[in-house]
Structure 1
Amino acid sequence: MNALLGQAWRCPRSAVLVTRRFRVKSTKPPKKAAARGGSNALQSFNELPADEQLRRRLNDRERVQRRTTPSEPALRQRYGEFYDLAKHRLNHLLREMGRWDPEHREYRAFGLHTQEDYIQEISLFKDALKKSFNLASALNMTARNDNPLFWNLRAAFIRGDMQELTKELRYALQTFLMRKKFSKSTAELHLTVADLRFPYEWFPATRQLQRTIHLHVGPTNSGKTYNALKALENAKSGIYAGPLRLLAHEIFTRFIAKGKPCALITGEEQRIPENADMFFRSCTVEMTPLNWKVDVAVIDEIQMIADEHRGWAWTQAVLGCQAKELHLCGEERVVDLIQELCARLGDKCIVHRYQRLNPLLPMEEAVGTDFKNLQKGDAVISFSRVNLHALKAGIEGATGRKCAIVYGSLPPETRAAQAALFNDPNNEYDFLVASDAIGMGLNLEIKRVVFESAFKFDGSTQRPLTIPEVKQIGGRAGRYRTANDAVCSGNEGEASVTSAQSKWGAPGFVTAMDEQDLEHIKKHLLKDAKPITAAGIMPPSHIIERFASLFPPDIPLAFVLSRLREMARLSSSFNICSFGDVLEISNVLKEFNLSIYDRSVLLTAPVSLREQAQKDVLRAFAWSIANLSGGHLLEIPEIDLEVLEVDPSALTALARKDHLVRLEGLHKAVTLYLWLSYRYRGVFISQQLAFHVKSLVEEKITNCLEAADFDAERQQKRREILRRQAQSHTKKEEKLLGEVVEDAPVAESGPGLWEAEGHEDPLYREKKEVNAALPVRVRRIAASPTGAVSQE
């Protein structure tokens, strides 16, 4: 059961006793099965009327089906265990929300004006929760349309364990409290505002253009981005939009080297040419300028349009970019979706397909833990920054050769220097350790990709690498031409003499350090990823503002956003992106007097809320925005600038780890400060100082990471632990509550509609009916002065 529900929750003592009681083996000998009649029984059956024979056959078939599905009792047991968990988290949530109080802002906002209202509504919600689990257990009603509360709770737990389950319970409770607060006409108005079926209408200026969309698709190392960039270079004005800051910097460097004026625009940095009226723009996809008419725009890694967190940025760029020619580069699986979108937009779509320039082959054997098995031109891929530096130290110690390092948060200049060292065949940098950032189009001359692990942490749990991830990262082996070649040669028409193909004369190879991981990698390389059927969207600020205006002013924005997500009507070509971090940010901001516009800006900020310190930093920034003051970097005590004065050489090994955590927290805070300084220039006025602090922090982080040592046995144990965690998470969808959760359109199922089942008028209207329905302990508490709700 621990494997099922996670280590964070322990079964209540009463449930444990009940389970043990039913597990006691009987000492009585088993009863012998009664002998069935032979020919006489068959004869009596044949003498029965035809309809009675059919009824008995159907009953017998049903009994056989029940006997051949042994998972049904186990399924009911899991439903019971999950119900215990849901009750436990609900009680925890109620304690977190606090006792009822006449001045409690949230309770007042949801219409709980008296203690009796509070007790009644909480008890009714507990009844509704129990009813939903009874429907699942007794009648196997688990579909979203049949049992929406159960379906949402199950999906939340599978998606994000205890944390997501608690969030979904909070939203379900708030929805239940709001079920009778709106008239039918108001509910219809909610549905009208939440109609997101036509997101292309959000960009009327772009709809007036007749665009030509060139879709470049193919595997890695096939030349698709190369051809798209040729079109961009030949244009008079244009935009490049990529998924990574490092990739935007690479294209920016490439254009500058060719003598073309270019601006670099990312969330935390903007470099604008001083003496040029017309210039190209290289940016991260979230920063794509939508109000600037250009000849050509290139949007890279278009398959990320389906990403559950960032997909909205690609959709926004495709729908809103005002370019005569729009070049999209990505995987084959996105073709049908882009063609469908072009048909809706009235744009012309031309598909260019490419084949890989050299083959990509998985190896039969893993590299193992001995780094002496590595070959010149190998890139070892890991998904932890600390682990990357440990691997670097281990490789250099074992081989006596230098190892370059590349990962996402490296400064662009440092990454470019490291890539150049690795790409140069005339030095001692034979190896590279890199994060999955190289899978997003970064050009490196890699002969063989070695996966240190086939699992990664996605922000909430460890999970196996997906098919697209394996192909994207592994496909970097045997690169045909690097951006460094392009910068040095300055002529795209020349054949690349330093290409990976001419240097090694062999295909790219993919392997892993462990045999178990290699099997996973090989299977994924041979499979095709599923086609992308829907693009991600996020409601823009004007829709959020209008939707929020239909609710009482004290209603938390988190509930408004959750309600908008639940009520949203979508076409088959669009999905709403994940609201996970958005809801958490909105909860942090609820205490400040901010406009909906300011809240919408902060909802898209690069905030990591896993640490309490980052929440405090966000609150400090929100206070400065609300008061339009106090935005000087040195005036914000929540920014841990004191860590810069610490000498790491005087710290113990354990203290150095804590020191590194503090440095990374400061780096996140300064990055957020820079992001806000471009949006609230009059408030956050220390931009130059922030850039200086950021460079100091990055230097100190690099020094700390370079001091990491490598322990082969410890690394092997770490990989085994990650593998077990990822496999446990994968099995949870199958083990937890049985079948795989089915997909259903959000707009077609409750609790999306106010008048849906469970949202009708209260079951009890008179006070005596309420008291009669409440448990005895709750009635006693209702009569007490404190009025806390029973936690049973």
Structure 2
Amino acid sequence: MRLYSHKRFRLENHENVEFEGVESKPSRQVISSILDRFYRDPKIKELAETQNITKNIFQKAFQSFRLNCCVGIDFSKNLDPGLQVIFNDIINYDQSINLIYPYFLRHAHKVFPHLERIDELKHISDLTQPHNWYPLAREIHRKIIFHAGPTNSGKTYEALKAFKKAKSGMYCGPLRLLAFEIYERVNKAGIPCDMVTGEQRLFANDPQRPAAHCTFTTEMLPVDDRRDICVIDEIQMLRDNDRGTAWTRALLGVAADEVHLCGEEAAIDLVIRLLDPIGEHVDVRKYERKGELVVIDTHGLRDLKFVEDGDCLIHFSKFLILETARKLKHEYGKESAIIFGDLPPDTKKEQISKFNDPKHPCKVLLATDAIGMGINLNIKRVIFTTLMDGSGQIFPSYFVKQIAGRAGRFASRHCKGEVMTFLDEDSRLLGRLVSEPIQQISKAGISPSFEAIELFSFHLPHCSLAQLFDIFASISSVSEDFFACSHSRLKEMALLLEHIPLSLKDRYIFCLCPIKDNGSLFLSTAYLQIVRRYSEGNAITINFIKKLLSGEMKVANDLNKLKTLVSVYDILYSYLWLSYRFEEYFPHRDLVRELQTECGHLINESIRLMILKDYSKKLIKQNNINKEVNKKEFDGETVQNEMIEQKAVKKVVGKDVKKGKARVVDFEKNFRLIVSKLKK
């Protein structure tokens, strides 16, 4: 070992620290200062980039490297002897910090093993040529027809006329309810039509004699089955951060001689660009709205006493939906239908039927944005209770237009539609949002196939599925007309199931199961028990399911219990979905479907009873106990925010208010105004 003469090392804070040879090891403070200089050196980062260490990987690898170095210094272990010599050279002989880089690089490769095989992995994760993933579609020179127009313009109607005339055809849309509606409509027209969704198969004849026509949810649309025609509904969903990949796959991959696209004009330019490389021409047919839509931007509704038959109030809080329904029932004798995203399709269907039936006493609809797509509703007037999301951001214009367009339906009792706000102060904003020009969609969502993830696993056998998702996302490449869809939900599911022994393919399928992320501990626990039982080689029987759900299959009398009951429905849905992927292990599909139907009835009954229940006394009592003033600062100004219903506001706002987000104040103010009006 070499000995070093006495030398001072100057820290960046100008403190002088002395070291007497190598026996006197450098302190953690000195090592930390050296590593800070290393991290901030732009040339080091440029060098790392040339060796496929991205900024994100560099930061994570450095944090681990720094910890490793400091722990090694503190406990005289784990620190590479060569690196210790380098540190001493930097301290005593003013050597370059670049000498640390080889040791950092070695550590980065240890922390991120994919760096060792980066060239092969980059090739696998190249998503720049998705057109080539669908050989059957590329054998056909497809005729593409784009039916573009706003809600209630008849665009889907025109596409479905062609669908019915064809000898064989497929239809796909974003909702199970929509697939079922088209399935029923086509069969009533005397054309045998099947239906395939994630958790259900319906046949016009029987499974052994499939019909030439079939409806699908978009994720279930096959790309290896050739038909004469395919209708892809709501094509603008290409832009969706979570589900956009399903519409991209349908557009590029469906094997049909004639493809009819239905959706917003905003998607036209993107669709043309996506199909141009394969030489497919797009015939664009534009439609105008059938029936007038009047935007009332001079005032708001102001009070529930002005609610009329055919009105739809758009809320973004289940609490407000139920409280509004209660007040309409108790004080004005008006019965309401309720639709929000978490409700099961069967429940939504029953609520829709009530509202659409002119003979039913239910004349008012209370809903979230769940009504935005597809479902046919006899709405006369759409009333927004707010135009901001929980973080205080104003809704994009396309979102507002889509919901507003549900007002007025051609050839119904409400041909002319109106849209307005509940509060006066939102009315001008509504007018601006509805009149804004259409913003073109610039990119389509895309995701890797399981085969690509499987190849990654072959090269990185010690990585978990969650790690594979992260690594793939970090190095994948897409062309300028695409974006990588979010993998956060898949990763969350992979982490949830990480400790359960499964094959990669089985683990991937269990992660794909579309159970809703509603934050329910019951839902996560129940799903884990199902997957664990499968991993042990045991069938998931009806008796196991009944035992799993025992005590929860009952009418709910508050929102929390309703949430649990909806989670019960989701577990039953997941069973049905999995029964089509692992039939041997999920053998009681029909019995579980009966249980699911019973659960749907319980949810409907819960909603009915919760509306009848008088909440006002309970809320006022709770308000007197929990009422407090939250002082929050916005750019130096103090805003006093008196929370009327603490839990409800927390649920709606979704996260704490941050500096500079003054819109959240408006959102909470609107929320308080609405609640106060409900209590008057």
Which TM-score applies when normalising by structure 2?
Answer: 0.73
Question: Which whole-Å CA distance do the structure 2 matches of 1:509 and 1:310 have between them?
Answer: 31
> Compared with structure 1, are the counterparts of its residues 302 and 152 closer, same or farther at alpha carbon in structure 2 (3 Å cutoff)?
farther
Counterpart in the other structure of 1:289: 222
In structure 2, the partner of 1:239 is: 170
Matched, 1:615 2:615: no
Q: Which moved more, 1:588-597 or 1:313-322?
A: 588-597
Deviation at 1:670, TM superposition (A): 1.3
Alignment of 1:354-365 (within 5 A): 354-365=287-298
Amino acid at match of 2:541: H
1:466 counterpart = 2:396: yes
Contact 2:134 2:253 in 1 (8 A): yes
> Is 2:600 aligned against 1:698?
yes
2:284 is the counterpart of 1:351? yes
Judged with a 3 Å threshold, the aligned counterparts in structure 2 of structure 1 residues 373 and 687 are, in CA distance, closer, same or farther, namely same
Distance between the aligned counterparts of 1:175 and 1:386, measured in 2? 55
Aligned to 1:500, which of 414, 417, 420?
414
The one of 46, 55, 67 aligned to 1:148: 55
Which of these residues, 638, 641, 644, is aligned with residue 550 of structure 2? 641
In structure 2, the partner of 1:572 is: 480
C-alpha deviation, 1:193, in angstroms:
1.0
Give the drift of 1:232.
0.7
Indicate the residue corresponding to 1:382 in structure 2. 315
Distance (whole Å) between structure 2 residues aligned to residue 729 and residue 359 of structure 1: 41
Which of 442, 446, 449 matches 2:375?
442
1:316 to 214, 225, 249: 249
- Decide which moves more: 337-346 or 563-572: 337-346
CA distance in structure 1 between the partners assigned to 2:582 and 2:33 by the alignment: 43
1:583-641 Cα offsets, whole Å, 9 max, x none, are 11111222233222222222321134533333333332332443432322433688333
Q: Which residue of 2 aligns with 1:205?
A: 136
- Determine if contact 1:462/1:726 at 8 Å carries over to the other structure: no
Q: Which residue of 1 aligns with 2:84?
A: none
Whether 1:543 aligns to 2:452 is: yes
Residue 585 (str. 1) matches residue 493 (str. 2): yes
Is contact 2:337-2:365 (8 Å) kept? yes
Correspondences of 1:150-299 after superposition (within 5 Å): 177-178=108-109, 186-275=117-206, 276-299=209-232
Q: Output one character per residue of 1:40-87: Cα deviation in whole Å (capped at 9) or x when no partner.
A: xxxxxxxxxxxxxxxxxxxxxxxxxxxxxxxxxxxxxxxxxxxxxxxx
Which whole-Å CA distance do the structure 2 matches of 1:517 and 1:568 have between them?
43
Match in the other structure for 1:563: 471
The Cα of 1:518 is off from its aligned counterpart by 3.4
Question: For 2:337, what is the secondary structure of its paired residue?
Answer: strand
Q: Which string of whole-angstrom CA distances, capped at 9 and with x for unpartnered residues, describes residues 460-506 of structure 1? A: x675422221010011112214xxxxxxxxxxxxxxxx4533xxxxx
How far apart in 1 are the matches of 2:497 and 2:650? 37
Secondary structure at the aligned position of 2:150 is classed as coil
Structure 1 distance, partners of 2:377, 2:130, is 38
The answer to whether structure 1 residue 477 and structure 2 residue 407 are counterparts is yes
Percent of aligned positions that are identical: 30
Q: How far apart, in 1, do the equivalents of 2:496 and 2:253 lie?
A: 31
CA shift in 2, pair 1:660/1:357, >3 Å: closer
Amino acid at match of 2:564: R
Contact 1:463 / 1:730 at 8 angstroms: preserved in 2? no
CA distance in 2, matches of 1:273, 1:287: 18
How far apart are residue 194 of structure 1 and its match?
1.1
Quickly say closer, same or farther: Cα 1:191–1:732, change in 2 above 3 A.
farther
CA contact (8 A) 1:445 1:478 kept: yes
Distance 1:734 1:385, change over 3 A: closer
Give how far 1:309 is off: 0.5
Amino acid aligned to 1:220: T
Q: Secondary structure at the match of 2:562?
A: helix
- Distance, in Å, in 1 between the alignment partners of 2:423 and 2:287 is 33
Equivalent residues of 2:203, 2:210 under 8 A apart: no
Q: Any idea what SS the aligned residue of 1:539 has?
A: coil
Stretch deviating more after TM superposition (245-254 or 382-391)? 382-391
Q: Residues 613 and 725 from structure 1, CA distance in 2 versus in 1: closer, same or farther, beyond 3 angstroms?
A: closer
Between the aligned partners of 1:676 and 1:253, the Cα distance in structure 2 is 25
3-state SS of paired residue (1:357): coil
What residue number does 1:432 align with? 365
Contact 1:306 1:532 in 2 (8 A): yes
Which residue of 325, 333, 346 corresponds with 1:400? 333
2:532 alignment partner AA: W
Q: Which AA in structure 2 matches 1:319? A: L
Query: Aligned pair 1:604/2:604, yes or no?
Result: no
Aligned to 2:459, the other structure's residue is in SS state coil
Tell me, yes or no, if the aligned pair for 1:190 and 1:547 is still in contact at 8 Å: yes
Aligned with 2:419: secondary structure? strand
3-state SS in 1 of match to 2:364? strand
Q: Distance in 2 between matches of 1:426 and 1:681?
A: 43
Question: 1-side partners of 2:606 and 2:643: how far apart?
Answer: 23
Matched with 2:562 is 660
CA deviation profile, 1:200-256 (whole Å, cap 9, x unmatched): 212111111111111111111211111111111111211111111111121112112
Structure 1: gaps spanning 5 or more residues: 1-119, 136-144, 154-172, 482-497, 502-506, 736-792
The match for 2:356 is 423
Q: Which residue identity is paired with 2:403? A: I
The alpha carbon displacement at 1:717 in A equals: 4.8
Q: Quick one: distance in 1 between partners of 2:344 and 2:189?
A: 22
Note closer, same or farther for the CA distance 1:597–1:410 as it changes in structure 2 (3 Å cut). Answer: same
Matching of residue 304 in structure 1 with residue 213 in structure 2: no
Checking the alignment, whether the CA contact within 8 Å between 2:555 and 2:606 is kept in structure 1 is: no
Please tell me whether the aligned partners of residues 295 and 325 of structure 1 are also in contact (alpha carbons under 8 angstroms): yes
**Which 5+ residue runs of structure 2 have no aligned equivalent?**
1-27, 43-51, 61-103, 624-641, 665-680
1:180, distance to aligned residue in structure 2 (A)? 7.3
> What secondary structure is seen at the aligned counterpart in 2 of 1:393?
helix
Question: In 2 relative to 1, CA 150–291 (structure 1 residues): closer, same or farther, beyond 3 Å?
Answer: closer
Partner SS state of residue 430, structure 1:
strand
Bigger RCO of structures 1 and 2 (CA < 8 A, at least 6 apart): 1
CA distance in 1, matches of 2:454, 2:446: 17
Q: How big is the shift at 1:572? A: 0.7
- 1:377-422, Cα deviation, whole Å (9 max, x unpaired): 2111223445434322322333323333344565656545544443
Amino acid at match of 1:583: K
Q: Tell me if the contact between 2:142 and 2:256 (Cα under 8 Å) persists in the aligned partners.
A: yes
1:337 deviates by 0.9
Offset, 1:665? 2.2
> How far does residue 330 in structure 1 lie from its aligned partner after superposition?
0.8
Q: Residues 599, 698 of structure 1: CA spacing in aligned structure 2 closer, same or farther, 3 A cutoff?
A: same
| Root mean square deviation, CA, Å | 3.7
**Residue by residue, what CA displacement relative to the aligned partner does 1:528-558 show, whole Å, maximum 9, x if unpaired?**
342111110110000110012111x222221
In the TM superposition, what is the alpha-carbon distance from 1:290 to its structure 2 partner?
1.9
C-alpha distance 595-246 of structure 1, shift in aligned 2 (>3 A): same
Contact 1:641–1:666 (Cα < 8 Å) also in 2: no
Task: Give the Cα–Cα distance (whole angstroms) in 1 for the partners of residues 131 and 36 of structure 2.
Answer: 39
Cα distance in 1 for residues equivalent to 2:538 and 2:272: 49
1:40 aligns with none
Deviation larger for 631-640 or 602-611: 631-640
Q: Match for 2:591 among 670, 676, 689?
A: 689
